[in-house]
Structure 1
Amino acid sequence: MNKDRLLSLDVFRGLTIAAMILVNDPGSWSYVYAPLLHAQWHGCTPTDLIFPFFLFMVGMAVSLGTPKGGEARKQIAKKILKRSLYLILIGLFLNGFPYFELATLRIPGVLQRIGLVFLAIALMHHYVTTRNQIIIGALLLVGYWVLMTMVSVPGIGVANLAPDTNFAAWFDRIFLSGHMWKLSNTWDPEGLLSTVPAIGTGLLGVFTGKLLFGTADQTAGLTKVFVLANVLIAMALAWDLVFPINKSLWTSSFALYTGGVAMNFYAVMYWLLDIQKYRSCYTFPFEVFGSNAITAYALSGILATIFGLISIGEHSLQEWIYTGMVSIFGDFYFASLVYAFGFVVICYLPVLLLYKRNIFIKV
């Protein structure tokens, strides 16, 4: 089995990227079905699963594709640093496109967090034993919980989890003031401090890869993954009582809950696609997306911006298309969803061309 090209991993990654594009690009943000929106604060919607699923798969890819030991250790570490830097730079490019106003450029972002998480977990996989990785992951999650719920926030007072006054928001304002998410400017959903527990999400992907492929007995590996996944979900629901599940804060309970769900979801896909060898025309588009996932995501960000810049009369191209769909379907919400699906298809076509030509762009 070529573990660098697991069909289940490609399909899972592609499904996640397609879902990420879908929820990021509705016809109108005023008309979006509730499951396609993030939770307003505490809680978890299907949309909140998308980003942690991708970080989980980054961990899976690290466990399968990053060599360990030998004379090439220093060279491998350089490759890890280089790949992380590329992800961060692409993320900054997307944040700045097309005007690149550096004075107000948002520094955090999805690809920036992926780059930082990849850097941390790949170096740990390369240099740290599995036992110590587990210890580090647990310390990160417990330490974040203590910091967020028991340490007073400087200049504000008692520890709290409110959007503008929690410790993570204060920390990000110290280092990122003027360069945060434009919809708040006081906190960022991909901020610096909340990236710490996100490393735990990536490590769960690493551990899943080790459990599945660390033994020749595939059934035993799957059993271990299912058991651990549901233990993590139970732990998360218990932790939620004192440290609520929250995607924007990436609380420790959120990391365990979404990691457990991802483990269950991936284990089912691995059993179907790589053990039972199930094949279907329904899985092929996601295999295509998954084979060039970062390319698809970057393309979607650029196209969304361009659609917003091109003017047709008094409307942008995006607004013009959406308005036309509303006139066809007569339902604002459904038209918004159809637009989002159409945008996913537009992003799919160039990625399909790359796939047909056997071109896989690796960052």
Structure 2
Amino acid sequence: MTTTTNPPPARLGSLDAFRGATIAAMLLVNNPGSWSAIYPPLAHAPWHGWTFTDLIFPAFLWIVGVAITLSFAKRQEQGADRGELFRHVLRRSAIIFALGLFLAAFPFGLLPAHEFSLARLRIPGVLQRIAVGYLVASAIFLRTSWRGQLAWALALLTGHALALKFIPVPGFGAGVLEPKGNLAWWIDSHLLAGHTWRGAPTPGFDPEGILSTVPAISTVLLGVLAGHWLRRASSGAKIAGGLIGGGLVLLIVGAALGLWLPINKNLWTSSYAVFTAGWAQLLFGLFYWAMDVRGWKGWAAPFTWFGVNALALFVLSGLIARLLGLIQWIGADGTTKVTAKGWIYAHGFTPYFSPVNASLAFAICFVLLHLALAWWLCRRHYLFKV
């Protein structure tokens, strides 16, 4: 990861702001004061279905796709070598994947409350999926036209849907879409045995696992296709209209697919991929219309601060959250262990709010802490890049 203190080059402000809004939302839902007291929209759907929280991660992947088109198309027009661009992609993907593993391992057993074992280290994760999606979508972008990219997106979505529905799982049969017995669970439990998320709906499954990464690549490719529209439409109003209209179409198609294959984040079903890409495109279209067509930009400044250093802030938030939960001491009774997060929450929030509002207030303060840092980084013109 490198930093620069030079003023940033011209960027699409609405994309930075939308990326920042996505990161802010991610920090909000990932860091409640108490997981037992959460407003329903701020928690993932238990299995089938969706909530506000389930829209956040695919929105970020969709943004990655838009950025691929805007960045690489411009470089290719300037004469950049395709091989050189792909080497950059490989390097960047490896760093992002390594950062994901670092977050999973941190703090490497150096604190008494943390157990660290390479034999149980979680291999999949949010950053790992971003890395793989970026790598594969970039490779497809560099080798194909928009028609090829559309064909790849459709093929991956179709192949994943047919696999879930029709490939039989030993001992369970074909078409099982429950936490245990589905094809994604079977693959993860065999190929990633011991390296999956301990908080998954069933042991051996991982929501960022192997099979579900396939349609997640299509989520990135749908962003790539939206990026082509951004570059080719003749006017700002036409761009905004196309984004919003296309987003509505994707929403309808995704909802219709959901009648056959339920919308499910854990499995990243094709209906979920299309439906959430529709939300991302629709919301970004509104950001673009407000900022780039109407010129209303002041309201989005806090989101922009988040957006220009999104990866660094996400990693930092993960480190802070982990430390708050692992730094602990013996309480006044001489027996109870108190964590730093628990102490802050008990003394700064629970005495003043109802349980769900105290939990939400803690999450908001966590976001505001990172907002202050994001503002300082932008004010100092620090950009963290990989």
Alpha-carbon distance, 1:305 to partner: 0.9
For residues 9-54 of structure 1, the C-alpha deviation after alignment (integer angstroms, 9 at most, x for no partner) is 1110111101101110110101111110000111110000000110
Alpha-carbon distance, 1:343 to partner: 1.0
Aligned match of 2:54: 48
Q: AA paired with 1:343?
A: F
Aligned match of 1:152: 168
Aligned match of 1:358: 381
1:275 aligns with 2:285: no
Aligned match of 1:296: 313
Q: Decide whether the 8 Å contact of 2:37 with 2:359 is kept in 1.
A: yes
Query: Where do 1:1-363 residues align within 5 Å?
Result: 5-66=11-72, 67-68=75-76, 70=79, 72-99=81-108, 100-184=116-200, 185-280=203-298, 282-312=299-329, 313=331, 314-363=337-386
TM-score by length of 1: 0.96
Q: AA paired with 1:359?
A: Y
Q: Decide whether the 8 Å contact of 1:4 with 1:65 is kept in 2.
A: no
Alpha-carbon distance, 1:101 to partner: 2.1
TM-score by length of 2: 0.90
Q: Decide whether the 8 Å contact of 1:291 with 1:360 is kept in 2.
A: yes
What percent of counterpart residues are identical? 42
Q: Decide whether the 8 Å contact of 2:45 with 2:51 is kept in 1.
A: yes
Alpha-carbon distance, 1:232 to partner: 1.4
* Higher alpha-carbon deviation: 99-108 or 296-305: 99-108
Q: Decide whether the 8 Å contact of 1:4 with 1:64 is kept in 2.
A: no
Q: AA paired with 2:312?
A: T
Q: AA paired with 1:349?
A: A
Q: Decide whether the 8 Å contact of 2:349 with 2:361 is kept in 1.
A: no
Give the whole-Å Cα distance in 1 for the aligned partners of 2:243 and 2:36: 40
Q: Decide whether the 8 Å contact of 2:246 with 2:282 is kept in 1.
A: no
Alpha-carbon distance, 1:233 to partner: 1.3
Give the whole-Å Cα distance in 2 for the aligned partners of 1:223 and 1:132: 24
For residues 251-302 of structure 1, the C-alpha deviation after alignment (integer angstroms, 9 at most, x for no partner) is 000011011111111011111112221122x421111000100001000000
Aligned-partner SS, 2:102? helix
Q: Decide whether the 8 Å contact of 1:145 with 1:252 is kept in 2.
A: yes
Aligned-partner SS, 2:384? coil
* Higher alpha-carbon deviation: 268-277 or 323-332: 323-332
Give the whole-Å Cα distance in 2 for the aligned partners of 1:344 and 1:310: 20
Q: Decide whether the 8 Å contact of 2:236 with 2:292 is kept in 1.
A: no
Displaced runs of 4 or more, over 6 A: none
Q: Root-mean-square deviation (CA), in Å?
A: 1.6
Structure 1: give runs of 5+ residues left out of the alignment: none
Alpha-carbon distance, 1:180 to partner: 0.2
For residues 51-98 of structure 1, the C-alpha deviation after alignment (integer angstroms, 9 at most, x for no partner) is 011001001110101133746111111000111111100000000101
For residues 207-242 of structure 1, the C-alpha deviation after alignment (integer angstroms, 9 at most, x for no partner) is 111112213323233333223222211111111111
Q: AA paired with 1:35?
A: P
Give the whole-Å Cα distance in 1 for the aligned partners of 2:327 and 2:141: 45
For residues 315-341 of structure 1, the C-alpha deviation after alignment (integer angstroms, 9 at most, x for no partner) is 101011111234432411111111111
Q: Decide whether the 8 Å contact of 1:4 with 1:61 is kept in 2.
A: no
Q: AA paired with 2:252?
A: A
